[in-house]
Structures are given as structure tokens and as C-alpha cells.
């Protein structure tokens, strides 16, 4: 990889500006970073891919070249060809343009094993530009493709997808203890993650919001979701799956993800049926299993300077 010192410095400044835009400047921009850093103790997901400012300042051209030579090699590549193609001609073109690139050394794989969490953890962070308190609870989930991952996605939709979700409806509309309520299940190759949280309304207590979050999770673990909730969540998830794969590029992307992350591109054709088969009992079981209090990481967020709202 040929990179000049001048070009390297320019690109590094671009990445640093991206970090400022996404993480440093927004009031709660560092929240996702702190959730990952505190939820995972060993697995590399605890490190933000973009790196810290210290990482970026310390990076050298040699670091970039070494990374490229290790990972950007044919034995670490998956070619996906989608469209109105002649298979034989397409393979011939791929071999013509890529076949002469020399194979690299064996690519190192992640061997770290995230230990099971046996007791709840808490951490407090303070943000200079955060105007209000917030609280987030996160839980480790099984990896993408695990049989429970489909029911967990449906559970996440019921809990946190949109203003009719359980968290938003309770915290924002009914109790009015939070200005915003949010959450998501993120499927990853290694251990996945679910998080749910709220930004505290002025005059309300962050502990009140935390109690409501936990209560909402416990209710779903103790009692099956309604048929209406289940149908709505499945319809939204399935519709998102279909519309998100309408274009040729989207199909290629998902086929590649299945091939690389799950080891089989043909799993693309099986995903929808797995969502359709999720039952209310499945949702209750996975919430009880994975969103248990002993597996919880709780992050308290407070403004670093001006204190707005109550903390206790």
C-alpha cells in the first residue's frame, strides 16, 4: 500500500473530524462508546473501531501498511456477484482481475472469549455537553445466527422500536420521567448486545427512570407479550428485512454477511422463516434468560458542569 506522509496526515485529520462529529460534539455522542467499553470486558468490541484521539494521533504510516498487508489479502476476501449475470463469464472475470494477487499470510482471528457476567455492574460517566442525566442498561446476547437471536430481535422491537414501544410509552407518555427512551439489539459476529435507556426529564429522578427500565424488562420476563404486540413486531421486523434487501447492492451485502459472518450464504434464504416462527413464549424465555439482572451493566450519565434535574 503506497501512502505518502502528506496524504496520510490529511486522511488522519478526516478521521479525527469524523470522530468529533459522531462522538465528541453531540451531547450524548460518547454514549455508544461507553456502553461497549463497559459491557464487554475482554472481547475486542469494547474498543471503538474509529479509535480514540490518542490512538489516531499515535498512528503511523507503518501501522496502516501493516494492517493492509495482514487483512487486505485474497485469503481474507469474499467476492459477491449479484445480478443478471452469466456465472461462467463472471467467474472468469473475477479470476482475470483478482487471480494473480498473491495470497497473504494466515489471517489472525479473534480468540478472546467474553466471560459470562455473574453479577450486575455499574459505572458513572460525565459529559461536558450533556444537558440532562441519563441511564442505560446493557446486556450481552448470543452471536448473530444463534437460534435465540431471532426472538431477541422481536423482543427488542416490542421494548424499544418507536413511540408505541413499551419503553417509550411508559417512560415518555405515561410517567413522563424521560424526554427520550431508546434501545436496540445489535447482532454481531461475536457476542451481541441489547441496550435500553432514557434521558431524564427535568425535575425527575434518574433513579426513577432506572427503576422503570428494570420493571419493564421484568414484566416481559414474567408475562408473555400480547398477540397484538407479537404480530406488530414480527410484521415490522419482516418488512424491514424485505425492504432492506430490495436493491441489488443490498442483496449482495447481505449475502456477503451471511457468507462471512455465518459461514453460509444460503442462510440468506432461511432468515425470514425464523422470524415468522417466533412465539410469545420464545420472547418471554429469551428476555428472562438474557436480560437478567445479574447480566446487566448499568451506566449512569451526568452533566459534567451544570446540573439539571434531580439525581436522587
pLDDT exceeds 90 at position 308: no
pLDDT exceeds 80 at position 1: no
**Cα 278–chain centre separation:** 21
pLDDT exceeds 70 at position 92: yes
Nearest Cα to Cα of residue 235 among 186, 183, 276:
276
pLDDT tens string 148-184: 999 999 999 999 999 999 999 999 999 999 999 999 9
4 Cβ partners below 8 Å, 6+ apart? Answer: none
Same-domain status, 165 and 277 = yes
| Rounded CA separation 210/200 (Å) | 10
Same-domain status, 48 and 145 = no
Q: What's the confidence (pLDDT) of residue 82? A: 94
Instruction: Point out the domain boundary residue: 68, 98, 128.
Output: 98
Q: Residue range 287-307: average pLDDT?
A: 92
Residue 119 lies in a domain: no
Q: Residue range 32-45: average pLDDT?
A: 96
Same-domain status, 37 and 147 = no
pLDDT exceeds 50 at position 20: yes
Residue 126 lies in a domain: no
Q: Residue range 252-277: average pLDDT?
A: 94
Q: Burial of 186 by CB count in 10 Å (0-12 exposed, 13-18 middle, 19+ buried)?
A: middle
The domain in which residue 155 lies consists of 141-294
Residue 258 lies in a domain: yes
Q: What's the confidence (pLDDT) of residue 310? A: 44
Same-domain status, 63 and 146 = no
| Rounded CA separation 10/64 (Å) | 14
Same-domain status, 176 and 79 = no
Distances (CA, A) of 207 to 155, 162, 210: 24, 23, 5
Q: Residue range 240-265: average pLDDT?
A: 94
| Rounded CA separation 232/256 (Å) | 29
**Cα 212–chain centre separation:** 23
Residue 132 lies in a domain: no
Q: What is the DSSP string of 19-40?
A: HIIIIISSTTTTHHHHHHHHH-
pLDDT band at 305 (very low <50, low <70, confident <90, very high): confident
Same-domain status, 245 and 162 = yes
| Rounded CA separation 99/71 (Å) | 17
Hey, CA dihedral for 248, 250, 256, 262, is it positive or negative?
A: negative
pLDDT tens string 98-124: 999 999 999 999 999 999 999 999 999
Hey, CA dihedral for 288, 292, 295, 296, is it positive or negative?
A: positive
Same-domain status, 15 and 89 = yes
Residue 153 lies in a domain: yes
Q: Residue range 304-308: average pLDDT?
A: 63
pLDDT exceeds 70 at position 4: yes
Where helices occur in the chain by DSSP H, the ranges are 5-19, 31-39, 53-58, 61-71, 87-98, 149-160, 166-168, 206-222, 227-243, 248-257, 271-276, 280-290
pLDDT exceeds 50 at position 212: yes
Percent of the chain residues past pLDDT 90, beyond the cut: 96
Q: Residue range 279-291: average pLDDT?
A: 98
Residue 302 lies in a domain: no
Residue 199 lies in a domain: yes
> Which strands, in side-by-side order, build the sheet including 178-186?
121-127, 296-303, 134-141, 192-200, 178-186
Q: What's the confidence (pLDDT) of residue 165? A: 98
Same-domain status, 88 and 150 = no
Q: Residue range 48-75: average pLDDT?
A: 94
Rounded to a whole number of angstroms, the distance between the first and last alpha carbons of the chain is 55
Same-domain status, 146 and 283 = yes
| Rounded CA separation 2/12 (Å) | 15
Same-domain status, 73 and 190 = no
Overall number of domains in the chain: 2
Distances (CA, A) of 169 to 100, 135, 158, 194: 58, 17, 11, 19
Q: Residue range 258-282: average pLDDT?
A: 95
Same-domain status, 145 and 208 = yes
Same-domain status, 78 and 150 = no
Residue 165 lies in a domain: yes
**In CATH, what number is assigned to the domain containing residue 181?**
3.30.830.10
pLDDT exceeds 90 at position 306: no
Amino acid at each position: 500500500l503506497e501512502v505518502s506522509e502528506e496524504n496520510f496526515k490529511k486522511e488522519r485529520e478526516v478521521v479525527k473530524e469524523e470522530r468529533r462529529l459522531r462522538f465528541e460534539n453531540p451531547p450524548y455522542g460518547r454514549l455508544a462508546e461507553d456502553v461497549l467499553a463497559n459491557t464487554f470486558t475482554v472481547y475486542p468490541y469494547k474498543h471503538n473501531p474509529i479509535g480514540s484521539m490518542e490512538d489516531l494521533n499515535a498512528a503511523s504510516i507503518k501501522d496502516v501498511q501493516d494492517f493492509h498487508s495482514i487483512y487486505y489479502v485474497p485469503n481474507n476476501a469474499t467476492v459477491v456477484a449479484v445480478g443478471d449475470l452469466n456465472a461462467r463469464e463472471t467467474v472468469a472475470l473475477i479470476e482475470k482481475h483478482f487471480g494473480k494477487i498473491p495470497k497473504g499470510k494466515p489471517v489472525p482471528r479473534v480468540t478472546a472469549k467474553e466471560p459470562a457476567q455473574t453479577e450486575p455492574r455499574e459505572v458513572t460517566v460525565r459529559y461536558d455537553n450533556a444537558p440532562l442525566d441519563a441511564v442505560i442498561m446493557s446486556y450481552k446476547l448470543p452471536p448473530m445466527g444463534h437460534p435465540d437471536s431471532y426472538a431477541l430481535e422481536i423482543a427488542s422491537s416490542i421494548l424499544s422500536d418507536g413511540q408505541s414501544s413499551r419503553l417509550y410509552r411508559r417512560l415518555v407518555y405515561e410517567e413522563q420521567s424521560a424526554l427520550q427512551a431508546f434501545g436496540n439489539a445489535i447482532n454481531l459476529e461475536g457476542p451481541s448486545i441489547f441496550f435500553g435507556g432514557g434521558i431524564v426529564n427535568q425535575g425527575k429522578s434518574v433513579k426513577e427512570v432506572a427503576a422503570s427500565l428494570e420493571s419493564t424488562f421484568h414484566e416481559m420476563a414474567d408475562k408473555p407479550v400480547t398477540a397484538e404486540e407479537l404480530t406488530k413486531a414480527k410484521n415490522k421486523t419482516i418488512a424491514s428485512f424485505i425492504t432492506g434487501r430490495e436493491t441489488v447492492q443490498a442483496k449482495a451485502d447481505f449475502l456477503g454477511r451471511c457468507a462471512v459472518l455465518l459461514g453460509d450464504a444460503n442462510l440468506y434464504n432461511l432468515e425470514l422463516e425464523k422470524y415468522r416462527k417466533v412465539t410469545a413464549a420464545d420472547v418471554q424465555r429469551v428476555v428472562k434468560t438474557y436480560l437478567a439482572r445479574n447480566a446487566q451493566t448499568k451506566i449512569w450519565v451526568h452533566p459534567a458542569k451544570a446540573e439539571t434535574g434531580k439525581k436522587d
